[in-house]
Amino acid sequence: MPDALTLPEPPYLAKTVREALEDKAALNNAPRIILGLLAGVYIGFGGIFALIALAGAEAMPYGIGQTLAGLVFVLGLVLVVVAGAELFTGNTLMLSSVAAGKLDASKAAAALAVVYAANFLGSVLLALLTLASGLHEAGEGAIAQAALELGAEKTTKGFTALIASGVLANMLVCTAVWMAYGGQTVTQKLAAVILPIAAFVAAGFEHSVANMFLLPYAWLIQFATGAATQITVIGIVSNLVVVTLGNLAGGALIALAYHHAYLKN
């Protein structure tokens, strides 16, 4: 086993990740729901930080504000991997254990479904609290504008774009989570997640749990302020359904690639 200053070799890391995800699948529903709620809140905190960075981003050359938003959004996954929480997108790595025959597919599906629902509830509760806090009024409404523009963009993307963005987003998220399991210290875990997460946010790729906060929050702002943006419940649901499918595929690609590379035999 590597010490605190030595990162594990990829084959050892693959075994570590598979065992950790099997432990997650064995959790009772009570802690799974609590930790799922926390993950929804934590990723939402990253979304709040990203919206603050995006407020006024139009005054900067394209890419700078987006990159800054990505860097601060890392807060969400850092809280998940360091403090501990159950995140649907990262937990799709359970498919490695399913492929190895060490985890029943129905048990994995049930665990993912419970976490997904808990992530959604935590995200929506945070959206309601954030609206009540009046954050959207900050910067003379700049944060509200950033949230509305982002929500409108996400709910008007086509099917192909959403699927592809969902795949790419969770390939990066799952790679970040995979590497974080190799970290023995908080600093190592932070170093593992910062670039993949910053990249997916800066690129505008679609992450279902992030959208569980960002889209309801934008809809609530629209409702509270009477903004003309046409963000609808149907648009939000459509986004989440398609992006979730893409996220599942992206997580499966990473899980199965490492299963076949290091764990199949």
Write the CA distances from 47 to 41, 107, 110, 237, integer angstroms: 10, 30, 27, 18
Q: How high is the pLDDT of residue 5?
A: 56
Q: Looking at residue 9, what is its pLDDT?
A: 87
DSSP assignment of 65-119, as one string? HHHHHHHHHHHHHHIIIIII---HHHHGGGHHHHHTTSS-HHHHHHHHHHHHHHH
The pLDDT of residue 31 is: 97
Is pTM beyond 0.85? Reply is yes
Q: What is the CATH architecture assignment of 10-263?
A: Up-down Bundle (1.20)
Residue 167: what pLDDT?
98
Predicted pLDDT of residue 56: 82
Domain boundary assignment for the chain = 10-263
Determine the residue type at 81: V
pLDDT score recorded for residue 6: 65
Running along the chain, 265 residues long, what does each successive block of 10 average in pLDDT? 65 90 93 98 98 89 92 97 96 90 92 98 98 96 96 96 98 97 92 96 97 98 91 97 98 94 82
